[in-house]
Amino acid sequence: MGALEKALTELNEVERMACTGSRMHSIDPRAKLIVTVIYIVAVLSFSLDSPAGIILFWVFPIIVSAMSGISYNAVFVKSLYTLPFIMFIGIFNPIFNREPMLYIGDMAISRGWVEFVSIIIRGLLSVQAVLLLIMSTGFNRLCAAMGKLGVPSIFTTQLMLLYRYIFVLLDEALSMDRARKSRSYGRKKYGLKMWGTFIGQLLLRTVERAQRIHRAMLSRGFTGKILMRGNMHWRLSDTIYVVVWCLLFAAGRFCDVSGLFPFTR
């Protein structure tokens, strides 16, 4: 399976997971969205030079993945796709901040390296939380929940259309790649000139297809707002879910747990 087929398959797999039944899927999308936002804020609020508390927040994606019936290993592997971008954010910390912060035996670890590791952990945990939210809710229901919580409809509509455009982009790229392979007589790699032609044609084809889709939407009464089927009902269990996690996040954020991880002090 090529990279394009794999990417499209994984996106379809995310959509399929959002339609399964589990404890997590039965929770109101608004409750899951609120908890995820609070979790990300709590994780990002930690100081870069205190990674001890952040480690405890790894419990959240593990528990949520178990409640969703989703393998945490799969979520962790998917989050690693963003690792190069996360590393780029903190790549200069070890260079400019060389003050010794902790010692492992006789080896000194600079503050910059501790901050670099903290940035990676914070980034991976945030990405995993968002992935689990989408995989246990579905992108369309998530956008509907954002609308219910007061997010402007123009923003949620653009998000949904952008998400669908990713499928259009991958489908067109896959079609073009198959056409190239059928005419390349075994040549597997693109040349630099071929890459320029491929990307240009892909952009033109996806824009043209998106325009056709938009005209079809307008002919069917599209007014700028996508209507969603199904209603959301806030229950007592949703309130309990939000309150329990918020209390746990507050405890993990404001309690000193550095004694549990002496090597991180």
Q: What pLDDT band is residue 31 in, cutting at 50, 70 and 90?
A: very high
Per-residue pLDDT, 8: 74
HSE, CB side, 13 Å, CA atoms: give it for residue 54: 25
Per-residue pLDDT, 130: 94
Q: What pLDDT band is residue 131 in, cutting at 50, 70 and 90?
A: very high
Q: What pLDDT band is residue 241 in, cutting at 50, 70 and 90?
A: very high
Tell me: pLDDT of 261 over 60.
Answer: no
Secondary structure in 3-state letters for the chain = CCHHHHHHHHHHHHHHHCCCCCCCCCCCHHHHHHHHHHHHHHHHCCCCCCCHHHHHCCHHHHHHHHHHCCCHHHHHHHHHHHHHHHHHHHCCHHHHCCCEEEEECCEEEEHHHHHHHHHHHHHHHHHHHHHHHHHHHCHHHHHHHHHHCCCCHHHHHHHHHHHHHHHHHHHHHHHHHHHHHHHCCCCCCCCHHHHHHHHHHHHHHHHHHHHHHHHHHHHCCCCCCCCCCCCCCCCHHHHHHHHHHHHHHHHHHHCCCHHHCHHHC
Tell me: pLDDT of 230 over 70.
Answer: no
Place of tokens 């892909």: 202
| 111-137 and 139-148 helices, crossing angle to 10° | 100
Q: What pLDDT band is residue 187 in, cutting at 50, 70 and 90?
A: low
